[in-house]
Amino acid sequence: DAKTTQPNSMESNEEEPVHLPCNHSTISGTDYIHWYRQLPSQGPEYVIHGLTSNVNNRMASLAIAEDRKSSTLILHRATLRDAAVYYCILSTNAGKSTFGDGTTLTVKP
Amino acid sequence: EAGVAQSPRYKIIEKRQSVAFWCNPISGHATLYWYQQILGQGPKLLIQFQNNGVVDDSQLPKDRFSAERLKGVDSTLKIQPAKLEDSAVYLCASSLVTTGGTYEQYFGPGTRLTVT
User: CA B85, CA B38: separation in Å to the nearest integer?
Assistant: 9
Q: What is the pLDDT of residues A8-48, one digit of tens each?
A: 999 999 999 999 999 999 998 889 999 999 999 899 999 99
- 8 Å CB contact of B108 and A96: no
Q: What is the pLDDT of residues A72-87, one digit of tens each?
A: 999 999 999 999 999 9
For residues B27-41, average pLDDT: 94
> For residue B49, what is the nearest residue in chain A, using CA coordinates?
A95
* A82: three-class secondary structure by DSSP: helix
Q: What is the pLDDT of residues B40-86, one digit of tens each?
A: 999 999 999 988 899 899 999 999 999 999 888 999 999 999 999 99
| Model pLDDT, residue A3 | 87
The set of residues, in sequence order, having a beta carbon less than 8 Å from that of B63 and lying 6+ positions away, is: none
- Share the mean pLDDT of chain A: 93
Q: Which of residues 15-34 of A touch B (CB under 8 A)?
A: 30-32, 34
Question: Pick from B115, B103, B94: which is nearest to B6 by CA?
Answer: B94
- Share the mean pLDDT of chain B: 93
- Residue B93 pLDDT > 90: yes
pLDDT level of residue A94 (50, 70, 90 thresholds): confident
For residues A56-74, average pLDDT: 95
| Model pLDDT, residue A37 | 97
Distances (CA, A) of A93 to A14, A26, B48, B78, B108: 37, 15, 15, 29, 24
| Model pLDDT, residue A1 | 59
- HEC per residue, chain B: CCCCEEECCEEEECCCCCEEEEEECCCCCCEEEEEEECCCCCCEEEEEEECCEEEECCCCCCCCEEEECHHHCCEEEEECCCCHHHCEEEEEEEECCCHHHCCCCEECCCEEEEEC
The set of residues, in sequence order, having a beta carbon less than 8 Å from that of B55 and lying 6+ positions away, is: A95, B31, B48, B49, B98
Mutate to test the interface with B, among A34, A48, A86, A90 (most CBs of B within 10 A): A34
- 8 Å CB contact of A95 and B45: no
| Strand pairing category for B111-115 and B10-13 | parallel
- Residue A2 pLDDT > 80: no
Q: Return the percent helix, strand and coil in chain A, to nearest 5.
A: 5, 50, 50
* A75: three-class secondary structure by DSSP: strand
